[in-house]
């Protein structure tokens, strides 16, 4: 076997086939996914059983009747379903929720506890203090006082409310239950007073569903999918980032370890610095690919399981591979360069900070680039190393309307040219750095090393 | 002249303003056992690194085994001054890994095991490197440098950090390898070891070669023509012995050092002393490498520089601290 391959194999074996790696890289993600699947439904808030009396003090008996209707378990279920839909629309989380747990929505509706609330009416001029004492004593669940001015059609914020008195130990979701029932009952009375039917009005007020489709220049149409537009690019970019950054970090520490253990020159007695660096890069590329395949495979398995594979066209996986190779070698070149220049891990901090800041940029730019994948920011950062692979991954997966092919091709060409330049610079630094001990170099000195014969 | 394993011609190397090696010429004959001597910072490690093509000379040529080092790397065994092991790796795995990197063919595991036995390290094959004592680690490093049965062995300070027992094992191994026909050059600043082992000496100071000769040539060239006598009584006057030029007592002992007249036969003078005075001992003093070094540096740079350089050579230096930044120190 070639010497470079022996180095690569040692690097791979002592990184990926260790207890620490298997624990950190395999079991922890599996545990996280397992927790999401198993603990997710269990951790969802549930309402404790509710039994007792709610007193509604109002001059209009319709209010009490309305509250009785609204406290019916079927109506409560309906209301919860509506609020879930509203929430999902606001966060664009429909697909995500289904992806993570397809049965969750159904389980949420079915998991209503037994609610046996007796609603009693009281006169508007009933002694409120007596009722409140009963709440304190636990004889009543709550007392609601609805004034007449809450029922008129023209209201100010001051007159729009009602008073609700609950025990100090009342559960927040029980209080919400009363609040929702009362609010809907009051609205029902208001609507009834102007001669309308509340059920009809409710269905009239339901916002219509949008079926947005983007029409492209070539005459095709593509559905607008919030999840595909926002979550998928983030997932791809994070996948790329984690795979390259984790193995880059391993490369940094293993290079520093070889220097601090003083095994470096022993190795250089058998191989050239370039062979050593190439072997190390290849070994860590293997580690990185394992991470990519493992996490990516998990993601694809989840998509297939939830029949959402159509969100990820095959070309995206091809792009992932192209930009993974580019991204890994860019990050690895930076890490190997820094690792070879310092003698101890703590000395690496000053040199690694700018690299880290640079690599954090794609994470910060996720939202603006995803929202506007063909904008100026996205286009410019597509040609700046080492951002190219990360930004392009965001762009090619984000745009419902495709990124112009010439931009994809040119950024791949520019990216790979930069990748080779970075590896070349790293090799120059590596060659000098591995033999240097003592004070860590400044960035300016690193530049001198590149020119050093 | 015998064919050279290493041929260095007019090599110079500077780091910034500091000239580490100046116009160095060196021939290491094939099959020889050579010592490469000099105080700290003399340029030994820089020269060795240039021989190994780890760094490159500014000018001059280096030929190793008739070609370039990179082309002959698998025929060279090199123990660097800055050496270590993968702490978490097992000894056997490390040796096998190094064997593969050095192009060993055949059963690397058996070769490594045999060598461990030869270096008196039985039972460490499956131990982690960090579990070994410093001396044992050093022997493993030496082993890693010769595991591929090289023709040329270059050892940079192989004895530093070794206790006398392990140093003796290493000396014996070096002699054995030499007897097998290997060319060996090792650097040291402990002159006694070089005197005991080497058949040829290269002495270097401030990047300049001061001496390049066999031990026999050195003894002839630097013969001090001095006899040391220890009489039975403390008093002794040997000035009237024929052939004695001067006599002086050596401090803190009963010894007297007698300088011989030019042309006087040391054998006859010793016989004359023994017949005239009751003596405990009489011996013809041989030149030590330390004396030779002091003489050479004194001629080159004056007495103060000679004394300082000599002290660095003969005292055990803190080489770990000093030499670890040898490159770093000289690159501004």
For A6-44, the DSSP string reads HHHHHHHHHHHTSHHHIIIIIIHHHHHHHHHHHHHHHHS
Are residues A73 and A154 located together in one domain of the fold?
A: yes
The pair of structure tokens assigned to A160 is 């729009």
Percent of chain B scoring above 90 in pLDDT: 36
d(CA A256, CA A7): 16
Let me know whether A390 and A436 are in one domain.
yes
pLDDT value of residue A89: 64
**SS3 of B35, please?**
strand
Name the token pair of A234: 């983030």
State the smallest CA–CA distance between residue A264 and chain B in angstroms: 7
Name the residue among B85, B87, B97 with its Cβ closest to that of A6.
Answer: B97
CB contact under 8 A, B101 and A271: yes
**Could you tell me the pLDDT band of residue B78, with boundaries at 50, 70 and 90?**
very high
Chains A & B: contacts with CB separation below 8 Å: 78
Chain B residues in contact with chain A using a Cβ-Cβ cutoff of 8 Å: 49, 52-56, 70, 73, 76-89, 97-98, 100-103, 141, 144-145, 324-325, 327-329, 331
> Could you give the CA distance from residue A63 to residue A118 in angstroms, rounded to a whole number?
14
What is the domain range of residue A165? 44-207
- Average pLDDT of B106-119? 90
pLDDT (0 to 100) of residue B232: 83
Which residues does residue B24 pair with via DSSP β-bridges, in sequence order?
A: B11
Same domain flag for A195 and A179 = yes
Strongest mean pLDDT among A73-77, B136-140, B272-276: B136-140
DSSP 8-state assignment for residue B277? S
DSSP collapsed to 3 states, A129-174: HHHHHHHHHCCCCEEEEECHHHCCCCCCCCCCCCEEEECCCCCHHH
Q: Is the residue at A213 inside a domain?
A: no
Where among A147, A180, A207 does a domain terminate?
A207
Residue A335 lies in a domain: yes
How far does A437 lie from chain B, in Å, by closest CA? 5
State the residue for tokens 């001396």: B135
Nearest-angstrom CA–CA distance, B125 and A294: 35
- Output the CA torsion sign for A214, A363, A429, A435: negative
A189 falls within a domain: yes
> Of A177, A207, A237, which closes a domain?
A207
Q: In chain A, what is the straight-line distance between the N-terminal and C-terminal CA atoms, in Å?
A: 31
* Binary contact (B80, A267; C-beta < 8 A): no
Look up the ipTM and state it: 0.76
Task: Check if the beta carbon of residue B232 is closer than 8 Å to that of residue B279.
Answer: yes
Tell me, yes or no, whether A320 and A233 share the same domain. yes
Let me know if residue A438 belongs to a domain. yes
* CATH number of the domain to which A110 belongs: 3.40.190
Q: Does A215 map to a domain?
A: no
Taking 90 as the threshold, does the pLDDT of residue B91 lie above it? Answer: yes
With a pLDDT cut of 70, the percent of chain B lying above it is 89
Q: Do A343 and A394 reside in the same domain of the chain?
A: yes
Tens-level pLDDT at each residue, chain A (453 residues): 689 999 999 999 999 988 888 887 777 777 777 777 777 667 665 667 788 888 988 888 888 888 888 888 888 888 877 777 776 665 554 444 444 444 444 444 445 667 788 888 887 777 888 888 988 988 888 999 888 878 776 666 666 778 899 988 888 888 888 888 898 888 888 888 888 888 888 888 877 877 777 676 666 666 556 666 678 888 888 889 989 988 999 999 999 999 888 888 889 888 888 899 999 999 999 999 998 998 888 888 888 887 777 778 888 889 999 999 999 999 999 999 999 998 888 888 888 888 889 888 988 888 888 888 888 998 999 999 889 999 999 888 886 667 889 999 999 999 999 999 999 999 889 988 887 777 788 888 888 888 776
Q: Work out the minimum CA distance from A438 to partner chain B, whole angstroms.
A: 6
Convert B208-242 to b/e letters by CB count within 10 Å (16 or more is b).
bbbbbbebeebeeebebbbbebebeeeebebeebe
pTM of the model: 0.71
pLDDT at residue A108, rounded to an integer: 47
Could you tell me which chain B residue has the CA closest to the CA of A279?
B101
Question: Cα–Cα distance between A437 and A183 in angstroms, integer?
Answer: 74
Inter-chain contact A435–B87, Cβ cutoff 8 Å?
A: no
Asked if residue A167 and residue A106 are part of one domain, the reply reads yes
Q: What is the pLDDT of residue A309?
A: 76
| Closest residue in B to A269 (Cα–Cα) | B78
- Please check whether residue A13 touches B, CB under 8 A: no
pLDDT at B168 over 50: yes
Number of domains in chain A: 2
d(CA A279, CA A4): 5
Q: If you average pLDDT over residues B12-29, what whole number do you get?
A: 91
Q: What is the mean pLDDT of residues B138-154?
A: 93
Is A15 found in the same domain as A60? no
Residue A58 in 3-state DSSP?
strand
Measured between alpha carbons, how far is A268 from B54 in angstroms, rounded to an integer? 7
Chain A contacts of B83, Cβ < 8 Å?
A: 262-263, 265-266
Residue A148 lies in a domain: yes
A272 and A395: one domain? Answer: yes
Q: Which residue of B has its CA nearest to A434?
A: B54
With beta carbons less than 8 A apart as the criterion, state whether A141 and A150 touch.
no
Residues A145 and A111 both lie in one domain: yes
Chain B residue with Cα closest to A10: B97
Q: Which of the listed residues A183, A207, A231 is the one where a domain comes to its end?
A: A207
Tell me: pLDDT of B321 over 80.
no
Instruction: Compute the nearest-CA separation of A256 from chain B (Å).
Output: 12
- Predicted local confidence at residue B307, as pLDDT: 64
| A166 and A246 housed in the same domain | no
Q: Is residue B159 predicted with pLDDT exceeding 50? A: yes
Residues A297 and A152 in one domain: no
Shared-domain flag, residues A234 and A362: yes
Q: A362-373 in b/e burial notation, b at 16+ Cβ within 10 A?
A: beebbeebbeeb
CA distance B95 to B107: 12
Residue B203 has pLDDT above 70, yes or no: yes
Residue A280 lies in a domain: yes
Q: What's the confidence (pLDDT) of residue A92?
A: 52
Q: Which residues pair with A120 in a beta bridge?
A: A55
The answer to whether position A212 is within a domain reads no
B310, pLDDT greater than 80:
no
Rounded distance between C-alpha atoms, residue B129 and residue B88, angstroms: 6
Of B180 and A115, the structure prediction assigns the larger pLDDT to B180
Identify each DSSP E strand in chain B by its residue range. 4-15, 18-29, 33-37, 59-64, 76-79, 152-156, 183-188, 200-205, 208-214, 226-231, 244-249, 256-260, 279-284
CB atoms within 10 A of CB A33: 14
Q: Are B195 and B218 in contact (CB under 8 A)?
A: no
């Amino acid at each position: 076997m070639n010497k470079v391959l022996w180095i690569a194999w040692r690097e791979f074996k002592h990184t990926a086939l260790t207890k620490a790696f298997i624990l950190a890289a395999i079991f922890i993600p599996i545990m996280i996914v397992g927790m999401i699947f198993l603990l997710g439904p269990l951790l969802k808030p549930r309402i404790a059983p509710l039994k007792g009396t709610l007193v509604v003090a109002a001059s209009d008996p319709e209010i009490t009747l309305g509250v009785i209707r609204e406290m019916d378990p079927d109506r409560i279920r309906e209301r919860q379903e509506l609020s879930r839909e509203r929430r999902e629309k606001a966060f664009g989380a429909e697909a995500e929720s289904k992806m993570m747990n397809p049965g969750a929505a159904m389980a949420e509706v079915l998991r209503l506890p037994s609610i046996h609330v007796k609603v009693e009416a009281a006169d508007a001029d009933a002694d409120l203090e007596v009722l409140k004492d009963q709440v304190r004593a636990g004889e009543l669940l709550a007392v609601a006082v609805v004034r007449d001015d809450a029922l008129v059609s023209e209201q100010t914020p001051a007159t729009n409310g009602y008073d609700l008195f609950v025990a100090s130990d009342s559960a927040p979701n029980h209080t919400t239950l009363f609040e929702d029932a009362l609010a809907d009952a009051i609205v029902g009375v208001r609507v009834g007073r102007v001669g309308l039917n509340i059920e009809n009005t409710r269905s009239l007020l339901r916002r219509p569903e949008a079926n947005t489709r983007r029409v492209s220049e070539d005459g095709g149409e593509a559905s607008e999918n919030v999840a595909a537009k926002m979550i998928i690019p983030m997932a791809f970019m994070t996948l790329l980032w984690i795979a390259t950054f984790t193995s880059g970090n391993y490369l940094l520490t293993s290079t520093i370890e070889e220097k601090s253990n003083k095994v470096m020159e022993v190795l250089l007695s058998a191989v050239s610095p370039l062979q050593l660096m190439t072997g190390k890069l290849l070994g860590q590329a293997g580690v990185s690919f394992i991470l990519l395949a493992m996490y990516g495979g998990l993601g694809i398995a989840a998509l297939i399981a939830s029949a959402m594979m159509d969100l990820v066209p095959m070309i995206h996986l091809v792009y992932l591979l192209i930009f993974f190779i580019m991204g890994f070698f860019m990050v690895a070149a930076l890490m190997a360069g820094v690792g070879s220049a310092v003698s101890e891990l703590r000395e690496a901090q000053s040199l690694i900070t700018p690299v880290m800041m640079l690599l954090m940029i794609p994470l910060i730019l996720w939202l603006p680039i995803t929202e506007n994948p063909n904008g100026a920011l996205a286009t410019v950062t597509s040609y700046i190393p080492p951002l190219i692979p990360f930004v392009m991954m965001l762009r090619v997966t984000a745009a419902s309307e495709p990124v112009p092919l010439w931009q994809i091709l040119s950024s791949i060409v520019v990216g790979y040219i930069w990748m080779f330049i970075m590896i070349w610079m790293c090799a120059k630094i590596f060659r000098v750095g591995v033999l240097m001990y003592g004070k860590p170099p400044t960035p300016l000195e690193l530049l001198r090393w590149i020119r050093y014969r | 002249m015998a064919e050279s394993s290493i041929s260095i011609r007019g090599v110079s190397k500077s780091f910034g303003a500091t000239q580490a090696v100046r116009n160095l010429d060196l021939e290491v004959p094939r099959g020889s056992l050579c010592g490469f001597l000099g105080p700290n910072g003399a340029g030994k490690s820089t020269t060795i690194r240039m021989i190994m093509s780890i760094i490159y000379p500014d000018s001059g040529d280096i030929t190793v085994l008739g070609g370039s080092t990179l082309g002959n790397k698998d025929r060279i065994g090199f123990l660097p001054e800055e050496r270590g092991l993968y702490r978490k790796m097992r000894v056997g795995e490390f040796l096998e890994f190094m064997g593969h990197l050095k192009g060993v063919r055949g059963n690397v595991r058996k070769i490594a095991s045999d060598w461990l036995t030869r270096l008196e390290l039985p039972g460490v094959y499956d131990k982690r490197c960090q579990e070994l004592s410093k001396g044992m680690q050093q022997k493993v490093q030496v082993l890693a440098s010769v595991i591929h049965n090289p023709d040329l062995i270059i050892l940079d300070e192989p004895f530093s950090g070794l206790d006398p027992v392990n140093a003796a094992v290493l000396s014996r191994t070096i002699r054995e390898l030499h007897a097998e026909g290997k060319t060996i050059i090792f650097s040291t600043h402990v002159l006694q070891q070089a005197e005991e082992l080497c058949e040829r000496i290269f002495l270097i100071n401030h990047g300049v070669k001061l001496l390049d000769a066999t031990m026999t040539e050195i003894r002839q060239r630097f013969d001090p023509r001095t006899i040391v006598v220890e009489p039975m009584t403390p008093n002794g006057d040997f000035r009237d012995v024929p052939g004695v030029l001067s006599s002086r007592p050596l401090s803190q002992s009963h010894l007297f050092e007698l300088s011989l007249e030019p042309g006087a036969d040391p054998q006859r003078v010793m016989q004359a002393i023994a017949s005239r005075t009751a003596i405990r001992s009489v011996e013809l003093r041989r030149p030590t490498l330390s004396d030779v070094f002091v003489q050479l540096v004194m001629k080159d740079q004056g007495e103060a520089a000679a004394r300082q350089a000599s002290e660095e050579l003969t005292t055990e230096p803190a080489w770990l601290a000093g030499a670890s930044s040898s490159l770093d120190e000289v690159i501004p």
